[in-house]
Structure 1
Amino acid sequence: MRHIHQATPATILLKNTINVRLVIICMAAASVGLSMVIVSIAKFLLLLCGLTTLLLSRRNQQGIQPPPTRFTHIAVLLCLLAFAASLLWSIAPQADALASLAKYGKLLVIVLMVSLIRDRREATYALGAFVVAQVFLVASSWMLFFRLPVPWASSNMAASHYAVFSSYLDQGIISTVFAAVCWHLRELAPGRFGKNAAVLLALAALLNVLFVLDGRSGQVVAIALLSVAIMWQLPGKYRAAVVVLPFLLALGLFLSSTKVRERLSLVKTEASSYSTQGVSSTSTGLRLGYWRQALTVISERPLIGAGVGSWRSEHNRLQRIQNPAHQDIHGVGTPHQEYLQWGVQLGIPGILLFCGLMLSMLKDTLRMEKPYARAAQSALLAFAVACLFNSSLYDAMIGDFFCVVVGLLLALGLSKASHEVVATPELKPAP
């Protein structure tokens, strides 16, 4: 005779009786790319759900199914421990150091997404919520482009640059990743016309990035993801062409897209002005100046860095050396390059740690089936490329986006289908 267990708060939260957990996961998946207020609320609920699940399961002696990722979780933990340890030698004011540590805490979102999603059915629901929200975002941008009323657009770049909730830089990267997810998972789209709809969505998002939005980072990310998507479609013996594909795509877009041509030409002009005249007031000039300062800090403290949250203090110090009348910048700030930012704070080991974090995620994707692996690897490639030009993990909107999406795609690819989940065997009383 089967033993009947009484439902507890833990079983309600962990199973499908009243699936508050899944609702919160879907909210988190849908929030990224929308208003920052919605993102913050979703992150808070996700953290609360994770803590409640952990506490209730321990109280009721119910184990949580171990997450399927092995390398990513360890890498996230090591990164957070390294930043926490650097509080001991950080030259930053305590407020700056703690604020920076809290910003890197968003890495826990990856762990939470993977740990709270129990099977592929739940991951698919979360993916659906993500797609619906991204369709809303892309459609809103196209409406702005065609001068249709979009009363929910809260970005100060809405009228001029067609960004809906954030900057055109963030939205360009976000929509490019969305296009890649639609393309690589198109075979999984439900319905008779699901595959065609997924391809159309990918095309609409990609055209929006390349011909409507102004973000150069999004355009570069789009070229990178297009290159690997084409490579994966080629027979094995032709895949070496991926070396020249980005250059061919960049040339084709330069000739066909006014947006791409204007923005890439502007990079050349701004870089030339910085190198010949020292003009650092432009977007490219500022980045080049910041990167030079970051390399100086790393060369001065190559082994342990200046500690978490130290960029502002180091930037002001170097500026005062060049100009004693320099007015200190306020806020923590970034050098607009994630790799160098980790180097400033943790030295050369910090750069290696950041690369190790991405490699650990890549290692986990190698255990996935092909469509899921390619979608997750595209998101990782977008993250790696975006971090070359921006602090894409540290920054609020785009950092939250990548943590949620990477966590969701890892959970989707590594979790089992619902019918494959094996129930925990019941313990029989001792004779």
Structure 2
Amino acid sequence: MQRSHIVRPAAMFWGLVVFMPVGVTYLSAIVLLLALLVGGGLRERYARLRANPLWWPVVAYVAWTFIVLAVRPHYPETPSNLFHGLRIAFTFLMAMALTREEALWALRGFLLIAALNIVLIVLHYTLGFPVPGALRGVVMEVGNKSISNALLFSIVAASAAVYGLSQITGHRPWRALAAFALVLGLGAVVALPLTSRTSVLALLLVIPVVCLHQWKNHLKALSAALILGAVVIGASLYQLPQLQQKVETGIEELEKAQAGAVFHGSWIIRYYMYRDTGAMIADQPVAGWGIGGWTDQWHKRGPALFADSNMPHNDFLWVGAQSGIPGILSLLAIMLIAVWQAWRRPDIAGRYALAATLIALIASSVNSAMRDAQIGLAVLWIAMVYLRLAQESQDPDPWRGLWPVRPARPARLQA
């Protein structure tokens, strides 16, 4: 194998292990970084990065991080928070450094393992098929790893929705029905066994946006698609009592939190985290409290019951507390430019990337989808691979060659 080709299997390896525990995803990231460094073509990769619209926002984010590190206080959590901040930047850069072919290999690995995991879920809940411990987060709620897996399934579901919409315009109704059946099936997976409100919220927001992207010049078709989609999704979710109960519980938690109650709950902890982290930013808006400063301030401001938390379930608030409003703006600029790059591409590749980057943005806004390595090394990576393919502006079909196609048989010569 030529040195330049070792990046392909390394990228595919990362795509294959995104549903695995965080130690495996760290290993895959290190393997890809080493492959990029020893595989040659560094000048071409650097030129590709410099030409990428995300380059300067990422540079600004990293530069401001080091400025804050130099001028603001340090804490026991400073090394780990600096590491995670730089890991986020390297995730963006490694995805953007890939060639189209290498990005396809990463995507191929992700879609292959997603399909196998869907089969695993079906076998587990129909036949009681045993699930390895490393994959328990695929079939049931297991901390943040199951949140990550639910978000990955949301990306697959949104991709299926994009494909189904394209088949409607291509007059292939059976393919469209199969795609939408997959959307509903995966929607049930993220809402029931994985019970991820973040993933359900992402799907509810993203699918109308991709409809808008496809039919923005055809208002009648757009209106019909949005109404039909809202009815189908709303009716489906209405049949899921577990999800209804979680939403009702969350609303009750917020009401009790506003009244001063403190107890363990997903929404109540977010209430206090968002309130107190917002106050941190207001107190130090220019350069924050320093890298690692969120934990120190949280121990001083937050309820003692939640003192063991190390992130505020919102990546932008986390960055803002540590590096001020410039830190928020630099990270937000990266994500918004990523979404804008996908939106600007009018074809199906743009819609795939739009769905994936929007899911990553939503997850980062209501969870720690970048700061938490269990989520960031999976969801953010896959979203950036989708975007990398959409950035092939001169290629009308950057997803071509994703799966090997049997060559057509030559026509027989007639006598």
Q: Give the alignment's TM-score, normalised by structure 2.
A: 0.81
| Cα distance in structure 2, aligned partners of 1:211 and 1:387 | 22
Match in the other structure for 2:62: 80
Q: How does 1:134-283 map to 2 (within 5 A)?
A: 134-146=114-126, 148-154=128-134, 162-163=140-141, 167-185=145-163, 201-232=182-213, 234=215, 236-238=218-220, 239=222, 251-283=234-266
Q: Decide which of 57, 68, 84 is 1:103's aligned counterpart.
A: 84
Change (3 A) 1:113 1:216: same
| Cα distance in structure 2, aligned partners of 1:222 and 1:397 | 20
CA contact (8 A) 1:71 1:363 kept: no
1:219 positional shift: 1.3
| Cα distance in structure 2, aligned partners of 1:230 and 1:198 | 15
Q: Decide which of 371, 389, 406 is 1:394's aligned counterpart.
A: 371
CA contact (8 A) 1:96 1:309 kept: yes
Letter in 1 for 2:119: A
Match in the other structure for 2:404: none
Q: Decide which of 257, 268, 281 is 1:285's aligned counterpart.
A: 268
Give ranges in structure 1 of 5+ residues lacking alignment: 1-8, 421-431
- The DSSP-based 3-state class of the residue aligned with 1:22 is helix
Q: Decide which of 304, 317, 320 is 1:340's aligned counterpart.
A: 317
Letter in 2 for 1:173: L
| Cα distance in structure 2, aligned partners of 1:74 and 1:241 | 40
Q: Decide which of 3, 6, 18 is 1:13's aligned counterpart.
A: 3
Match in the other structure for 2:334: 357
Q: Give the alignment's TM-score, normalised by structure 1.
A: 0.78
1:196 positional shift: 7.3
1:403 positional shift: 2.9
| Cα distance in structure 1, aligned partners of 2:396 and 2:250 | 50
Match in the other structure for 2:107: 127
| Cα distance in structure 1, aligned partners of 2:270 and 2:143 | 24
**Higher deviation after alignment, 199-208 or 78-87:** 199-208
CA contact (8 A) 1:157 1:164 kept: yes
Match in the other structure for 2:16: 30
Aligned pair count?
A: 387
CA contact (8 A) 2:343 2:351 kept: no
Please report the RMSD computed on the Cα atoms of aligned residues, expressed in angstroms.
Answer: 3.5
CA contact (8 A) 2:19 2:135 kept: no
1:383 positional shift: 1.6
Deviation track 1:240-283 (CA, whole Å, cap 9, x = no partner) reads 79999998677545522223211111111111221224234211
Letter in 2 for 1:400: L
Match in the other structure for 2:30: 44
| Cα distance in structure 1, aligned partners of 2:224 and 2:254 | 29
Match in the other structure for 2:96: 114
Deviation track 1:25-51 (CA, whole Å, cap 9, x = no partner) reads 111122212232321111011111122
| Cα distance in structure 2, aligned partners of 1:353 and 1:267 | 31
| Cα distance in structure 2, aligned partners of 1:282 and 1:296 | 21
Larger Rg: 1
